Chain A
Amino acid sequence: MGALVEVRSLVKHFPVRGGVLNRVIGRVHAVNDVSFQVQRGEVLGVVGESGCGKSTLGKCVIRLQEPTAGEVLYEGRPITGLSHSELMPYRRKMQIIFQDPYSSLNPRMTVRAILKEVLTFHRLASGAALEERIRSLIEKVGLRPEAADKFPHEFSGGQRQRIGIARALALDPEFLVADEPVSALDVSIQAQVLNLMMDLREEFGLTMLFVSHDLKVVEHFCDRVIVMYLGHIMEEIACEDLQERSIHPYTRALLGANPINDPDERRPLTVLEGDVPSPYDPPKGCPFAGRCSIASDRCRSEMPPLETRSDSWRVACFEV
């Protein structure tokens, strides 16, 4: 099967203005030369700490942000240069679920209004069929039919995320970007929403790009995962191989940082020394070199390329 979504050399920089004439005096390097593929039907996770560019990446893929350079291809066709009207058919196929349940829904609109607007705009249904579709969407995300006439502030965080999911699904998309969809929820609710998403993914055959800072969630939910650091991909590996076979020092550090439930089991702590470099003034060479325990001089001066180690496994490191 071909890749549904392919990202080639994607770059996103944010200009910083200053000085007398408010000229651009620098850039925040959010995403640096990132390339990967998302196969049809799979869930690809993107993981990393705050500020590594994963959210920006997700938004660039569905063109909520415009990439500074690079391409995004959908079903082999580039969507990065398209105009607003040319992009319209793709908008139907690509949707997004947001992170903050408290600001992702328009407070002035009822659930019905939100869904209706989306459906009517794309002329997907009208009249009785429209009502039926709304009702079924609400039911699919696990809410009661009465929810249709309520306003967002009448729901809890988890329920609002469900509404957000319903909105994303309304257009019957093929591809979904989930931007930290459960990060703002309580742990017990996280599990519920994640299970819902898994069920829906199976039912609708969705392909997903799942962005998160929580490696455990990604490991549980995704097929493959990309580990990002300061806008670069450090490692790309299948989730079932993550624990045993991942080798990038940063990936290992992230895995080690996850608390285990068993207080008796002892593990060596991989403590990361040093500070996170700023994306505004990135260092030469490998971005992780400053905190890496095995970094060499070569690591500090040269950027390690992302090499394919085996089928669907890539690593960017000189030392492993």
Chain B
Amino acid sequence: MIRRFLGSRALRKFSRDKLALVSLVVILLYLGVAGAVGFFGFIDREDTTDRIGPDNQVGWFETPTVEQRIHALEFYLDQIDGALGRRDPAKALAAIDFFGLRLASTDPDEVGETLDEVAEPFDELYEVLEEDAFDDDPANEERLGDVEEGILGMFVEPEGGAGRFRRLALAFGTDRQGRSILLRALYSIKVAVQIGLVSALISVLIGTLLGGAAAFFGGWVDAAVVWLYSTFSAIPYIVLLMVLASMFLGSSYEGTLVPVYVAFCSTFWIGPCRVIRGEVMKLRELEYVQAATAVGFGRMRVLMKHVLPNTTHLMFINFSLLFIGAIKAEVILSFLNLGVKNEPSWGVMINQSRQEVISGFMWQIGTATFFMFALVLAFNVLSDALQDAFDPKHV
């Protein structure tokens, strides 16, 4: 069977399509990341929920504005202040750890001294900023630089691997809670792939079996399946997702991905079912199917071993379309607070970025959209290429 696949016209046609090959590589990359995160713990959940630095820091490609710099400094000062105010300041100072970024000195007295030095100039600059008068005096820039040096100088970045990791993690900035956007976006790959794979796979399986059985056995089986998918498809798609997902609110499954899986599988199976049913209706009239019956094979065996295997090209195409559908639907479900809850996902990130966008901070939405865009585009190109390869008349 593998040999037949490798030698088939379809594969040859597919390989000539360079764009399709690129998409395949992209998809494999994503799968690789998902696997690394999911199975090898390359990025674990703490990485996505722990603070890495001040909130809403910009990524590498943007220079921070004055407001953002002062905001970051304010963050650091608050951290130190807070620690100094604790019962055991030394311990609290030592506990400050943002992915390896720590204080150079954890001696409360030393730290307190340095703090006093920078506090006043910092407050001055803060007021200047409030009055929107920063640009009035060119010397402000230099003063800001000095204060920055003073405050940031109290911290020391981690060495070696951890240091590179932290710098890389800051490449796309931080979100409203100071978490690494890049790490969250990469972790979301795992979530997206998980949701996409499970939903698409189960939906295609259910749809194929039901559609194949309906077309092949006819009679009441067909009537039942057609009734079933007419029923499901009569409820608008988003409404169906909402109703199904809300069934789990308050149950023990809330917060897991189970509501998402149930909602998606119950909605998506209809597409493949229709397609496979149509195809099997054509196939069952072919003579080799009759031949199998003449040899004495039972109906079930004929369906499973002779008819359905000839629909695998349609199964693949539908799988890739549903994968995309699942990823995009997850964004919408998460927006409606019915989707992913305890993990980062692209939907969660985009939802959280609503407020940030208003202030002009585009990093979270941009990163999430970018990563999602690449995967969805790759699948779109892939399914187009698959359709082309298997059906030359496809436009």
Query: Which residues of chain A have a CB within 8 Å of any CB of chain B?
Result: 59, 62, 64, 84, 87-88, 91-92, 95-96, 98-100, 103-108, 110, 117-118, 121-122, 151, 164, 167, 171
- Most chain B beta-carbon contacts within 10 A, residue among A100, A103, A110, A171: A103
| B290 sits at the interface (CB 8 A) | yes
Contact B4 A106 (CB under 8 A): no
| B256 sits at the interface (CB 8 A) | no
| B291 sits at the interface (CB 8 A) | yes
User: Smallest Cβ distance from B291 to chain A, in angstroms?
Assistant: 6
| B165 sits at the interface (CB 8 A) | no
| Among candidates A64, A108, A121, residue contacting B294 with C-beta atoms closer than 8 Å | A64
Q: A100-B287, A104-B288, A108-B310 are in contact. Are A121 and B295 (CB under 8 A)?
A: yes
* Bound form: Cα–Cα A99–B291 in Å: 11
With both beta carbons as reference points, the residue of chain A lying nearest to B306 in the complex is identified as A106
With both beta carbons as reference points, the residue of chain A lying nearest to B1 in the complex is identified as A108
Contact A88 B296 (CB under 8 A): yes
| Among candidates B4, B291, B306, residue contacting A104 with C-beta atoms closer than 8 Å | B291
* Bound form: Cα–Cα A95–B296 in Å: 10
Contact B295 A103 (CB under 8 A): no
Q: Name the interface residues of B302-332: CB closer than 8 Å to any CB of A.
A: 306, 309-310
Count class of interface residues, chain B: 10 to 19
Contact A84 B298 (CB under 8 A): yes
| Among candidates A91, A105, A108, residue contacting B296 with C-beta atoms closer than 8 Å | A91
**What are 13 A-B interface contacts by the 8 Å CB criterion?**
A64-B293, A84-B298, A95-B295, A96-B291, A103-B286, A104-B286, A105-B288, A106-B292, A106-B310, A107-B310, A121-B295, A151-B4, A164-B291
Contact B298 A98 (CB under 8 A): no
- Most chain A beta-carbon contacts within 10 A, residue among B4, B296, B298, B309: B296
A91 partner residues in chain B, CB cutoff 8 A: 294-296
* Bound form: Cα–Cα A121–B293 in Å: 12
B290 partner residues in chain A, CB cutoff 8 A: 59, 64, 98
* Bound form: Cα–Cα A95–B291 in Å: 9
| B217 sits at the interface (CB 8 A) | no
User: Smallest Cβ distance from A270 to chain B, in angstroms?
Assistant: 35
| Among candidates A96, A108, A110, A151, residue contacting B309 with C-beta atoms closer than 8 Å | A108
* Bound form: Cα–Cα A258–B144 in Å: 106
| B60 sits at the interface (CB 8 A) | no
B309 partner residues in chain A, CB cutoff 8 A: 108
Of all A-B residue pairs in the complex, the 10 with the closest CB atoms, nearest first, are A91-B296, A104-B287, A103-B286, A98-B287, A106-B288, A103-B287, A96-B294, A118-B295, A105-B288, A104-B288
With both beta carbons as reference points, the residue of chain A lying nearest to B9 in the complex is identified as A153
Bitwise interface map of B from 250 to 291 toward A, beta carbon under 8 Å scored 1, else 0:
000000000000000000000000000000000000111011
With both beta carbons as reference points, the residue of chain B lying nearest to A167 in the complex is identified as B291
B295 partner residues in chain A, CB cutoff 8 A: 91, 95, 117-118, 121-122, 167, 171
With both beta carbons as reference points, the residue of chain B lying nearest to A65 in the complex is identified as B290
User: Smallest Cβ distance from A87 to chain B, in angstroms?
Assistant: 8
* Bound form: Cα–Cα A306–B290 in Å: 32
A110 partner residues in chain B, CB cutoff 8 A: 4
User: Smallest Cβ distance from B296 to chain A, in angstroms?
Assistant: 4
Q: Name the interface residues of B101-116: CB closer than 8 Å to any CB of A.
A: none
| B297 sits at the interface (CB 8 A) | yes
* Bound form: Cα–Cα A100–B287 in Å: 7
A151 partner residues in chain B, CB cutoff 8 A: 4
- Most chain B beta-carbon contacts within 10 A, residue among A64, A96, A108, A122: A108
B306 partner residues in chain A, CB cutoff 8 A: 106
